[in-house]
Amino acid sequence: MLQKSKACDKDGIIGIKPPVMLHLVRNDTLDRTDHRITGQTKAFIETKGLKKRESILTRYGPAINPFVQVSLDISHSEQKGIGERLLTYLADHFFSKDGSKEYTRVLRSYTFPPEVCRKPNFAYHVKHLKMSEVTCLIACMPFMLQRMREDKVKIFKPTTITKMNTFRGTRAKLDQLSLKDLLIKVFLGVAKANSIVFARELDTTIGEDLKDDYQRMEEALVESRKLLYELVAPLEAARRKQIEEENREAEEGYSALERELIKQLEDAMTNGIRDI
């Protein structure tokens, strides 16, 4: 916003003009520096009795890109945070190569809601999904998983099932069918939580279950988190153990190398003393 500064008018009378709103036409001369007023442009504007008024946040605050979507609130956290992470796990850790092909087969024949303009295949490009597509996929995944033929194709990696069974504790062991059922439960839980989180309005009226929509949302979120933990925790435990073993092997290698260097140095010093 630009306003009149203290300047002389045609009659030579000095005064402060009231703030006025001006419409500036963008051109190549004033727009070459990406909307930043240079010293020459600033001097030109001041000759016209104008000055730039910036807010304190704009002048001294951090640079903010309004076009980048980040997980700042619960809605974005659900869509681009947890939702995208869940699809990434499914594509990278659970689906085998045959499983990705089987999902693509189901995707081609699956009928999405009328407002969906394209069929996103997250099995090959998860990072290219929009937030609305992530939410749509989470809601549709239980039905698509149900149509996948685990009895004819090993849709899940056997190594992943082995890792999960190793770190599941007292829970029942998983196979191709039971893992598919667990994934369906997880996606149903997350989809139910999303349906309440993204509702246009929440009713505070107490229902027959003696709960309002806020209480139902809390219960749905907690239940979805429990299911996510049951699904992901064994894989994270296996990954943590693998990292610890790799670090232990690296430390042993460094220790052996250090001992060898010390031995070579001692031998060199001994040989040098003998030569003297």
Domain range list for the chain: 2-59, 74-232, 247-276
Q: Which of 152, 160, 200 is nearest to 179 (CA)?
A: 160
Looking at residue 32, what is its pLDDT?
Answer: 45
> What pLDDT is stored for residue 61 in this prediction?
67
pTM of the complete model: 0.63
- pLDDT of res. 189: 93
For residue 134, what are its two tokens?
A: 């992530």
What pLDDT score was predicted for residue 172?
Answer: 85
H-run or E-run covering 101: helix 97-109
Report the chain's C-alpha Rg in angstroms: 32
pLDDT band at residue 2, thresholds of 50, 70 and 90? very low
Confidence category of residue 209, pLDDT binned at 50, 70, 90: confident
Position of tokens 């029942």?
Answer: 172
What CA–CA distance (Å, rounded) separates 230 from 47? 68
Residue of higher predicted confidence among 221 and 45: 221
| Residue-wise pLDDT tens digits, 134-183 | 888 999 999 999 999 988 999 999 999 998 898 887 888 899 999 999 99
Measured CA to CA, the distance from residue 176 to residue 31 in angstroms comes to 60
Q: What is the mean pLDDT of residues 57-61?
A: 70
Q: Which of the four pLDDT bands, split at 50, 70 and 90, describes residue 264?
A: confident
pLDDT of 100-139, one tens digit each?
999 999 999 998 888 888 787 887 777 777 888 888 899 9
